[in-house]
Structure 1
Amino acid sequence: MGSLVISIDAELGWGFHDLADPPESRVESGRRGWRRLLALLDRFDVPATWAVVSHLMLDRCDGRHADHPAPPGWFERERGAWADRPDLRFAPDLVAGILAADPDHELAAHSFSHVLFGDPETTPEIAREEYERSREIAARWGLVVDSFVYPRNDVGHLDVLADCGFRAYRGRSPTPEGIRGVADAAIRDRSSLVHPRIDEFGLVSIPASLFAFGFEGRLRSIAESVWTDPIVARARRGIDRAATDDGVFHLWLHPNNLRATRDDDRMAAILEYAAEVRAESALEIETMGEVADRVGPSRTGDRNEATTRTERII
């Protein structure tokens, strides 16, 4: 049968530092949502892949990163407007919470500073630096990260990703988001299951199925008032399919999507349903790393070796 995978883009301020006008409500909801999501996963004993921007695993830096080949101004907000906001730049306490949780979460990489890997300005040199720093900072924690989630799902430089020792990444979703996605699932009965594959670089691509907060605003309120939360309905449909068919239902979200009780309730409903189906069927709940172990080539040699450049990183 199939499985459920949940991947989480954990980024705090780094998810928005390059934007001229960051969405304040989401920026300020990052820590709240992180803790709520961790608690919900613990409540229903659901493991997830936490893809963390590795800068958050530091407890200090100079805000300049002069040896990083990023374009000029890339770290401007860190040392400027957010210089006095360590809560947006660092989160070793939150990362420690992932590692201490009862479910066997996977710690994955979400880059060092939320670079957009498909952007023409992101050279192979920049990509390599972001990939390598992610693994090296994890090594300082005694961890090896094998899975990668691309910021804003902007996939790029896969050859470098493989060369840096990663094994898997979240691929682009083959299904639409928002109202079109809801229509495809509800009206056309289109399946949200995806099928992981080994790409030309030997990496396991695990496509996304559903963004848990891709149907928001006024349309969400209207739908909930006359029917039910369409995302919960679509997630349940995907979980049901995974319980009976081969494939993966791959749900993803950010902690900062959990801004209010209604958002907590959405995730609680999905996780509770997943736990119930798991108990009554052959459904597996896996991490991206576990999918890679099942689908991809075995671990070999020093693809999993990570070295530390502590003095360069900080």
Structure 2
Amino acid sequence: MGSVVVSLDAELGWGFHDVESLPTDRVESGRRGWSVMLDLFSEFEIPATWAVVGHLMLESCDGRHAEHPAPEGWFERERTEWADRADLRFAPDLVDALLSSEVDHEFASHSFSHVLFGRPETDRELAEAELRRSTEIASEWDQSIETFVYPRNDVGHRDVLADHGVRAYRGRSPTRDGVRGLFDSTFRDHSLLVQPVVDEYGLVNVPASLFLFGFEGPARTVAESIWEDPMVVQARRGIDEAVESDGIFHMWLHPNNLTHERDDHRMRAILAYLDRKRSNTDLAVETIGDIAQKVDVARSVDGQVTPIDGRTIGDD
């Protein structure tokens, strides 16, 4: 049986608080996109992995986080430029809407304050603080964290994840930031399927296949005026490949990618197609946690992994 996974990086302002030049349209679209995606998932009854920045689960804070070992100035924007922008710093209302959904979404972590785990300046102490704080806040919401999505897909400190009870993470896409060469893949047979692997820490890496907003700007406008939305075409292709090959197709996005109605139309078209395929074929829609559970069940006593789809699952 083929599987399709959808994961989201739910971050609001935290995805940009360390960026000097802010993409205003995306910063201001995070709340809107979050609500639109929840509505679309409910309409099509599609579960997804929502990786939420832990700070968004707070009601308030002093903007300093004195006990957090973050680099100097890390929280500066929160207490200066965004001091009166609670809508960018906190989102208990959106988290509640997510947890109240009738769809069985997976609640995952996107760190506490969007620290980049793979950077040299992110030492173990900082990585532990980010994960510990996010899991503590999640527990206050009666949520446990078993899946982690790295901010900006910057993988690092996997041992820290394992020490804190995380079972799985979204790994980097095998090629070209998840876009896989849009035009190249139109003419050549590049697979959009990914294979979960168990790393040396026992974590299940479920790599990304396709970033759904990797083809934007004027090029997108031109392409849509001549053909149709190229990312919808790619997503359909990945879904079809999962059906035909019994493999895993993993697409991802940020809620803040939905800045205009045409972005809503993109996601509606993709989810509607996924829903039709699920109804008419042997296709499952699963979360990262679901995939990790399959891999865990397949593990043998000696630490090897029995194939879950006819192919060998090995170590990194």
TM-score band w.r.t. shorter chain: over 0.9
What is the one-letter code of the residue matched to 2:272?
E
Distance 1:151 1:70, change over 3 A: same
Looking at structure 1, the residues matched to 147 and 129 of structure 2 have their Cα atoms a distance apart, in angstroms, of 16
Contact 2:147 2:166 survives alignment (8 Å): yes
Distance 1:72 1:206, change over 3 A: same
Q: What is the DSSP-based 3-state SS (H/G/I as helix, E as strand, rest coil) of the residue aligned with 1:296?
A: helix
Q: What is the DSSP-based 3-state SS (H/G/I as helix, E as strand, rest coil) of the residue aligned with 1:84?
A: coil
What is the one-letter code of the residue matched to 1:231?
M
Aligned to 1:157: 157
TM-superposed deviation, 1:113? 0.1
What is the one-letter code of the residue matched to 1:85?
R
**1:277 and 2:277 correspond:** yes
Looking at structure 2, the residues matched to 223 and 145 of structure 1 have their Cα atoms a distance apart, in angstroms, of 40
**1:185 and 2:188 correspond:** no
Deviations 1:241-276 (A, max 9, x none): 111213210000000000111000000000000000
TM-superposed deviation, 1:155? 0.4
Looking at structure 2, the residues matched to 6 and 58 of structure 1 have their Cα atoms a distance apart, in angstroms, of 25
Aligned to 1:307: none
Aligned to 2:107: 107
Aligned to 2:136: 136
Contact 1:243 1:281 survives alignment (8 Å): yes
Contact 1:175 1:192 survives alignment (8 Å): no
Q: What is the DSSP-based 3-state SS (H/G/I as helix, E as strand, rest coil) of the residue aligned with 2:206?
A: strand
TM-superposed deviation, 1:297? 5.7
What is the one-letter code of the residue matched to 1:268?
R
What is the one-letter code of the residue matched to 2:11?
E
TM-superposed deviation, 1:186? 1.3
Contact 2:211 2:251 survives alignment (8 Å): yes
Looking at structure 1, the residues matched to 161 and 96 of structure 2 have their Cα atoms a distance apart, in angstroms, of 25
Contact 1:145 1:166 survives alignment (8 Å): yes
TM-superposed deviation, 1:206? 0.4
Q: Which aligned pairs between 1:22-41 and structure 2 lie closer than 5 A?
A: 22-41=22-41
Distance 1:138 1:277, change over 3 A: same
Q: Which aligned pairs between 1:1-314 and structure 2 lie closer than 5 A?
A: 1-177=1-177, 181-296=181-296
Aligned residues: 299
Looking at structure 2, the residues matched to 115 and 297 of structure 1 have their Cα atoms a distance apart, in angstroms, of 32
Q: What is the DSSP-based 3-state SS (H/G/I as helix, E as strand, rest coil) of the residue aligned with 1:6?
A: strand
| TM-score between both structures, scaled by the size of structure 2 | 0.92
Looking at structure 2, the residues matched to 120 and 65 of structure 1 have their Cα atoms a distance apart, in angstroms, of 22
TM-superposed deviation, 1:179? 7.1
| TM-score between both structures, scaled by the size of structure 1 | 0.93
Looking at structure 2, the residues matched to 72 and 161 of structure 1 have their Cα atoms a distance apart, in angstroms, of 24
Deviations 1:82-132 (A, max 9, x none): 010000000010011111112110110000000001111100000001111
Deviations 1:139-178 (A, max 9, x none): 0011111000000000000011111110000000012248
Contact 1:198 1:296 survives alignment (8 Å): no
Looking at structure 2, the residues matched to 248 and 183 of structure 1 have their Cα atoms a distance apart, in angstroms, of 22
What is the one-letter code of the residue matched to 1:112?
F
Quote the sequence identity (%). 63
Runs of 4+ in structure 1 over 3 Å off: 177-180
Distance 1:295 1:279, change over 3 A: same
Looking at structure 1, the residues matched to 163 and 187 of structure 2 have their Cα atoms a distance apart, in angstroms, of 43
Looking at structure 2, the residues matched to 119 and 178 of structure 1 have their Cα atoms a distance apart, in angstroms, of 21
Q: What is the DSSP-based 3-state SS (H/G/I as helix, E as strand, rest coil) of the residue aligned with 1:200?
A: coil
Distance 1:36 1:239, change over 3 A: same
Looking at structure 2, the residues matched to 187 and 215 of structure 1 have their Cα atoms a distance apart, in angstroms, of 17
Looking at structure 2, the residues matched to 181 and 93 of structure 1 have their Cα atoms a distance apart, in angstroms, of 38
Looking at structure 2, the residues matched to 116 and 93 of structure 1 have their Cα atoms a distance apart, in angstroms, of 26
Contact 1:185 1:192 survives alignment (8 Å): no
Looking at structure 2, the residues matched to 115 and 45 of structure 1 have their Cα atoms a distance apart, in angstroms, of 32
Looking at structure 2, the residues matched to 3 and 179 of structure 1 have their Cα atoms a distance apart, in angstroms, of 19
Looking at structure 2, the residues matched to 247 and 156 of structure 1 have their Cα atoms a distance apart, in angstroms, of 27
